[in-house]
Amino acid sequence: MLAYRVTNFLADVTTNVSRDAVKAFEEKGAVKPGQMLMMPNGIDTDKFIFSDALRIKIRSREGVRAGERVILAVGRFAEAKNYPGLLHAFASLCKSDSDLTLWIVGDGGLRETLVALVNSLDVSQRVKFFGVRNDVAEFYSAADVYVLSSLWEGFGLVVAEAMAAERVVVASDCGGVKEVVGNEGILVCPGDSDELAAALRKGLDMDSVSAAAMGKRARQRVIDNYSLDTIVKKWVELYQP
């Protein structure tokens, strides 16, 4: 924050990715109120889009059984992402549901710790670690519910990607995530594994018609507010004299 206070006078305009982030910088004195503008990240809605063909392909490749539901998480293995909380919530769900699988795409310094936790929770047969992938967009279509268990976030880019792919989203209400999700997802208190498990249960139990309707509304929300075309227009307007 000190660097922002020292260098802010050099810029004509300073931006951040969410209203929550702007507020945090103002409260900490990094910038004066009104000096920083909210400019969200943009999503390639042509790349992140639901495909039934990809859903069938990926689920078949990974041996997903008929009736099995897949929960997907994407992100680096870091403290902020709170994967231990997610794993505890998932293990709780597995006690009463034998048709659940958790897919985690990402990697990082906490990998060994997370693998050990999976083993200690006795869910090693139900959790798949996919590492770093260049085909993440395809994984969204294969999932039934997307989950973000973070303790803190700036924007929540993966949430917007999942919404663009018409997935039911369960996410921590932190940073700018609420701004992205709006009413088209399920928000939970950060760090509460019991609440996260209950929200995942709610998402998984949605009937197919309701889930599909929420997914379509979620995609439209991303198109309207966070598509590349929308964000490029905002940047162009910002730079126009």
User: Which architecture characterizes domain 52-224 according to CATH?
Assistant: 3-Layer(aba) Sandwich (3.40)
What digits encode the pLDDT tens for the residues 50-89?
999 999 999 999 999 999 999 999 999 999 999 999 999 9
Q: Is the pLDDT assigned to residue 4 strictly greater than 70?
A: no
Q: Is the pLDDT assigned to residue 3 strictly greater than 70?
A: no
| Contacts for 2 with CB less than 8 Å, ≥ 6 apart | none
Which residue's structure tokens are 């994984």? 139
Buried b (16+ CB within 10 A) or exposed e, 191-211: eebebbbbbbbebbebeeeeb
Q: Is the pLDDT assigned to residue 185 strictly greater than 90?
A: yes
Domain boundaries, the chain: 9-39, 52-224
This prediction has a pTM of: 0.93
**Average pLDDT, stretch 208-219?**
98
Q: Could you tell me if residue 108 is left (phi over 0), alpha (psi between -120 and 50 degrees) or otherwise beta?
A: left
pLDDT of residue 6: 64
Structure tokens at 125: 């047969």
Please, is 131 exposed, middle or buried when counting C-beta atoms within 10 Å of its C-beta (0-12, 13-18, 19+)? exposed
Can you list the positions of beta strands (E) in the chain?
14-16, 36-38, 69-74, 100-105, 127-131, 145-148, 168-172, 186-188
Distance CA 67, CA 181 (A): 27
Distance CA 71, CA 104 (A): 9
**Average pLDDT, stretch 201-225?**
98
